[in-house]
Structure formats: structure tokens, C-alpha cells
Structure 1
Amino acid sequence: MRTVPVGNFRWAARSAAVVVVSYVGGLVLLFDVLRHGPVDAWLAADVTIGAVACLLLLGRHRIPLTVGFTLAGLAAIVASAGVANMVALYFVARYRALRTAVVLGVTNVLSGCVFWLLYPGNEGIVLTLTVNVAIAAAATAWGALVQSQHTLLTAYRERAERAEEERDLREERIRANERTRIAREMHDVVAHRVSLVALCAGGLEVARGRDEEEIAAAAALIRASALQALDEMRTVIGLLREDGPGPPEQPGLNRLNDLVDEARRAGQQVVLEVDPTLTVAEGAVGRDVYRIVQEGLTNARKHAPGETVRVSVNRTGQQLAVDVVNRCATASLGVPGSGNGLIGLTERTTLAGGSLTHGGTAVGEFELRARLPWP
């Protein structure tokens, strides 16, 4: 059995109610209100034409102007259409411009005057004109009010939907920026691990006369670094996914010694100097220091293998000075890189309210200098 949609049923019920009420109102006007009206064959014709006129209200939504002016013309000669024309006026005011509805209202008032001329035995022309003007004005005002309310509600709804869309876009942009920032940091971590692997592998390649224990230790370090690099790469990929896990805990100053020890185990010569008066800096400052030193060690391994790296972290007044210095070398591990590590560090320190400089010195060293505000 075919079911009728609820929306269609409600529309049909409303349309039927509008037609029936308009026709009944027209019949009441014809038989109970008018003192003089059509008789005999004209009465039957009035009742029939009025029924057809009321059926025109079925098109009140699609063609309101056509229905309105047609019923205004019929109401001039057919008494039973005298309510349907005012209903049509309401729908014109509801769906069309107010100026158009006013024109139709004037037309309906003139139509009532024409009907009075056909049957002058009814109420006086002044009373007829007054009543018609009042009804037309009420129908026009009611329709225009409903239209303005609907327009206002639609504007509020669209504004709310637009605000919700903008909020979703803003949240998505924030999430995307955060994922990109974290992925960039994890890229630095992966580069650090890969450079350790390359350094250890280079050491094994040129090793001569080492015992099996030293070779096994170097191989174990390569294996551990490679596994950590793979694990961190999976973390990066997960962060870039919508449903990926949250970011891992970021290391700070408390992990600086671990970072240097790891580099030393890989064969890199690192001299670390940390101001003993410094307390452990948690939060953004500690993470910034850790990343700066990590990037400095990674670059030294890539571009100056075998050279000693001097790392110093000292407090100077209200600033934290981080310096990573190594001698320039012509040899390189040949590890590819994006070339954006130092650019990212510059952006990081700038956002933190500090500054970062890097480059060669007059004595043939490469110096990475960062100044961060001390909390």
C-alpha cells in the first residue's frame, strides 16, 4: 500500500480548509448579509461561479497575483466570491511586495464599489466603502506582518547556521595548525634519529681493529635509533589524521642531558655547559631550549661529522641564552634534509618573544645563538 507523505497530507488539509471556509463565508455573505443580490438563475450562477472561484485558491502559493486579481474581478459581480478575494489578498501580502499587495487591496475596494452599483439596495456606499477598506487593510497588514516575521526568522536561522559553519571552520583551522606544528616538531625528532643512525653507520664503515663488543654496541644503537625513528614517524602520520592519537609528551630542560648522552653514545663529541643556577624550566621555554639544542646537534652531525660541538645554556638577566657552536667541516654525512629546520626554529623563538641567529664566524665556526625570555 502506497503511503502519503505527512507534509503533503498537511498541505492538502490546509488547502481544503482554506477553500471550504472561503466558500462558506461567501455563501453566508450571499444569503444572510446582503439585502439585495442575485435571484433565480443568477443566484444559481453566483453559487456555481463562487465555488469555482474558491477553488482558484489552490494556486495561492504558486501564482498568488493571478489568483488575487482574478478573484478581485469576480468579486465585483459574484457575491459568493466576496470572501475568497480577501483571502487571496492576504496571500499576496504574505508572498509578494507590500506595494503589490496595496495595489490589489485598492482593486478589491473598487470591486466592492462595483458590486454596490449592481445591487444598490444594500447598505450605503459610505458604509460599504468603509468596511471594504478596513477588511482589505487588515488582510494586507496581516500578510505583510507574517512575511516580515518569516523573513526575520529566516535571517536569524541563516545567521546562526553561518556562525556555526564559521565556528567549525575556525576549529578545524586551529586543529590543522596544531597538527602541522606538532608534525613539524616530530619531523625534527625523526631527523635527529636518522642523523644518529647515519653517524653510527659511518663510524662502523671506517672502523678498523674494533672488537666485536664495540661493533655490537654500535649496531644496537643503530637498531634502537631506527626503531625509535619508525615509531616517531608513525606518530607523525597519526597526528595528521583526523582521528589520530593526541600529541606525545614534549621534552624540556629536564631531558637535555639525555639528549646529549644519546649523541655521545652515537660517537658525537659534545661539551654541555648548563648554568647551575637554572631551575628546571617546564612548559614552552623548556621545550624551546630542547628543540634548539636538538636541531643544533642534528645539523652538526649532518654537516660537520667528527667535530666537537659546544652547547651552553645560561641565564643572562631576564633572558635565557642558548648557544650551539661547532667548527665548520668540508665533509658531510650526506643525509638529506628539508632545509627548513632553522626556519622553523626562527619562527618558534620569534613566537616565544625571543630571537635566533645562525651562521659562520670569522674563526671558521658555525654558531647557532638563541635568546629566549626567562619566565
Structure 2
Amino acid sequence: MDYRREKVIDLGVVVLAAVLSAALSPVQNTGNLALSPEFGSGTMPFGTLTFTSPLLFGFTWVVNPVSLVAIGVLWWRRRWPTAVAVVAVAAAAVTPAVVPLVVALFTVAVLRPPRTILTVALLALLPIPVYFLMNPYASGVRIASAVIVAVLIAAAVGWGLFVRSLSERTERAEAEAVLRAQRAQGEARQDIAREMHDVLAHRLSLLSVHAGALEFNSGASGQETARAAAVIRESAHQALEDLQVVLQVLRSPAEGPVVDGTRPQQTGLAEVPGLVKESQDAGMRVDLDMWVAEADGPAGISGLTVYRIVQEGLTNVRKHAHGSPVRITVEGGPGDGLSLEMSNPVGRGAPRDGIPGAGQGLIGIEERVVLAGGRFSHGRSGPDYVLRAWLPWPA
């Protein structure tokens, strides 16, 4: 809350307490609204001061200096709520100062911990039983007055606790909103990393293979060199286009990217043969068997996940088992689901130079498969490394 606004509110509280005390002065100064009725001696500072205001049509305010002090210290109720409450309790014990007492107890209930609240509340109630122990034959009016004061104290504390709970609930909701925003940002960053890895790692690994072949084949003819350079240029161009698509997807994840009023085609099972063809053109030995009821495969996330699995598998073979033949089998249909198996002999030696990996590709693929409602496994099976996946294909 703004500092100036706080001071305006504090001033308003002091003025309101003074007005209410003036309005209740005829009742309070009979001793009917005090923690310890008839405790004062009638002499200063426990005596009364009388103020008559012509501006208020001759309204008379009967009050004593101690009550004025209790009202005045309410100005510091935010800064020292416990000390102000103790002053108000002391004032209410010797003079009729119920209004500043109620305000001070309310402030303590809002700002201080439960132990402090309980201590101050008991301190405020203590003069009432002490008075009746000292005056066992007090009249019924005094008993009613004590009950009213006790109810006011309980109401002030209860209302303060209610306001405190509303404030804590608001703060908790704001904190949860911040956590949700941070969680959403984290998920967005994971999506960025996953998409960047899945889309660009494949293209860049192809670039590395072609560039490596061009570098080490120094005796190639001019025509072969030009053809290899054209393949590198085309792969780089395709990588830039894929990067653009990824960035557009991240800018509008709910609706998909828009380019010149059209949306790019959804990647899926139908694009797997083209993906394999790219690897074959780069010199890899890849055999693809597809036995599916529909060439386009399942729409949505299942088809995209199959494409990503093949893409990640081919990238890993180029990194870790360069030269190994790859066999891919895809089969299934609506209602039966889509099964994928991808295997290659385990590579020997270190990963291919110049093609680093983060080691997170298969983790990301597994997350994709789980989110699609499927199953995924990978690991050695005899001399081969095998990826297996099953994905739902709605009928």
C-alpha cells in the first residue's frame, strides 16, 4: 500500500475513534463501558474534560486526558501495534476508552502472530474478572457492562483475524499465480529445447555428414564437389525453414503458425519416407517397411510422435553408430494402434567427431510418447540397439 495512502487511513482512524468516543461519552463516563468501572478517582488525570462545539449545535464531548492519549497513539498502530494495544488496555482499565481499545486489538489481530494476539487479548480481558473479585456485590448493570465490553473485545479480535485470513488468502493466491507463471515459463522453455533438438539436430547432423564427406574426399571431381555443395546448401536452407516453423509454433502454440495466411502442413507418418530418403541420400543404409492401413497414418500427436522417433533414431545412429545399417518397421491401423520398431547394430568406438549430443533426445521422445498415451522402450537387444514404440490410432 502507498505510504501516503496509509497515513491518510491512519488519520481517518484517529478522527473516527475521536468521533465515536465523543458520541459514546455520555454512556462511557457513567462507568458503564469500561474494563474496570469506577476505578478512576475523579481527579486529574482520571477526571473529565468537557468540550462544547458551537459548530455541532452545542454538542458536548465529555472525555478525560487518558482517553485522548489512547486515541492519539492510534496514529502509530501500524508501526508498533502491540505497544499501542498495551497502552489502550492500560487506558481502558482506568478510564472509559473502549473505542481505541477495540481499534488497537483489531490491528494486533491483523498484523501480529497468534501467540501475541492471544497474550494481548487475555491482557485486555484480565481487568474485568479482577474488578468483580474486588467488588463481589456489583450490580446487574455492571455485569451487563462487562459482558458488552468482553463481546466487543472478542469481536475486534475475531474481525481482525477474518481480515488477516482474507489478506493471507490474497497473498497466497498471488504467490500461486506467480508459481503458475514460472511453471508455464519452464514448460515453454522445455518445449523450445525439445523442438529445437528434434527439428534442428536431424538437419545439422546431415550437414555434418555431407561436409565431412566433402572435406575428406579431396580427389572428388568438380561435378561431385558441386553436387555435395548443393546438398549442403539445400540442407542448410531446410534447417532454416525448420527453425522458422519452430519459432512460429512457439509464438502461437494453441493455433499453430501462420505464414502468409496459411498454416504449414502437419508433420506425421506420411513424411517418414521423405525423412528416410534424406538419410539415404547422405549415405546411410536405411530399410523402411511400412504396413499401415492408411498412408497418412493417425492425425494429431500420434503421427507427429512417430516422425520424431524416426528422426531422433536416425540422428543417434549418425552420432553414435556411423555406418551401421538401420531397419525401420511401422505397422498398424485404426483401432489397433501404431507399432514402430527401429534397430541398428551397436556402434563401436567414440561418437562421430563434430556431432555433439546433449543426451536428452530419447528422454524427450519418451515424454512425447507418454503424453500421446503410448508406450516406449529402448536399449540393447543382443548385438542391436532397438527402439520400440506403440501409439494409439483411434478407429
What TM-score comes out, normalization by structure 2 length? 0.68
44 and 290 in structure 1: CA distance in 2 versus 1, 3 angstrom threshold:
closer
193 and 103 in structure 1: CA distance in 2 versus 1, 3 angstrom threshold:
same
The structure 2 residue matched to 1:68, chosen from 82, 85, 89, is 89
The structure 2 residue matched to 1:189, chosen from 185, 195, 199, is 199
Q: CA deviation at 1:175?
A: 4.2
Aligned partners of 1:93 and 1:143 also within 8 Å = yes
Identity of matched residues, %: 32
Structure-2 residue corresponding to 1:341:
361
Structure-2 residue corresponding to 1:322:
340
Structure-1 residue corresponding to 2:7:
8
Task: Give the number of aligned pairs.
Answer: 338
Letter in 2 for 1:321: S
Mapping of residues 363-374 of structure 1, within 5 Å: 365-374=384-393
- 2:304 & 2:340 partners in 1: Cα distance? 12
Unpaired runs of 5+ residues, structure 1, are: 34-40, 76-83, 115-124
**Which stretch of structure 1 is more off in the superposition, 183-192 or 54-63?**
54-63
The structure 1 residue matched to 2:380, chosen from 348, 359, 375, is 359
Letter in 2 for 1:338: A
Aligned partners of 2:67 and 2:91 also within 8 Å = no
- 1:291 & 1:68 partners in 2: Cα distance? 73
Give the structure with the higher percent helix.
1
Aligned partners of 1:186 and 1:232 also within 8 Å = no
Structure-1 residue corresponding to 2:161:
151
Aligned partners of 1:197 and 1:222 also within 8 Å = yes
Structure-1 residue corresponding to 2:298:
281
Mapping of residues 75-224 of structure 1, within 5 Å: 75=95, 84-87=96-99, 90-91=102-103, 94=106, 95=108, 97=118, 98-106=121-129, 129-207=139-217, 210-224=220-234
Mapping of residues 225-240 of structure 1, within 5 Å: 225-229=235-239
Aligned partners of 1:89 and 1:140 also within 8 Å = no
Structure-2 residue corresponding to 1:121:
none
226 and 44 in structure 1: CA distance in 2 versus 1, 3 angstrom threshold:
closer
Q: CA deviation at 1:141?
A: 0.8
Letter in 2 for 1:143: I
| Superposed CA RMSD | 4.2
What TM-score comes out, normalization by structure 1 length? 0.71
CA deviation map 1:271-307 (0-9, x unaligned): 3221142352122221221111112222232344445
Partner secondary structure for residue 278 of structure 1 = coil
Q: CA deviation at 1:356?
A: 2.0
Unpaired runs of 5+ residues, structure 2, are: 33-41, 51-62, 78-82, 109-116, 258-263
Structure-2 residue corresponding to 1:52:
65
**Which stretch of structure 1 is more off in the superposition, 226-235 or 263-272?**
226-235
Aligned partners of 1:314 and 1:320 also within 8 Å = yes
Matched, 1:272 2:293: no
Partner secondary structure for residue 275 of structure 1 = strand
- 1:268 & 1:369 partners in 2: Cα distance? 21
Structure-2 residue corresponding to 1:255:
271
Q: Which has the higher Rg, Structure 1 or Structure 2?
A: 1
- 1:103 & 1:199 partners in 2: Cα distance? 88
- 2:244 & 2:163 partners in 1: Cα distance? 49
208 and 17 in structure 1: CA distance in 2 versus 1, 3 angstrom threshold:
closer
Q: CA deviation at 1:222?
A: 1.1
Structure-2 residue corresponding to 1:118:
none
Letter in 2 for 1:133: I
Q: CA deviation at 1:238?
A: 9.4
- 2:376 & 2:45 partners in 1: Cα distance? 97
Q: CA deviation at 1:232?
A: 5.4
Aligned partners of 2:267 and 2:307 also within 8 Å = yes
Partner secondary structure for residue 388 of structure 2 = strand
- 2:68 & 2:375 partners in 1: Cα distance? 79
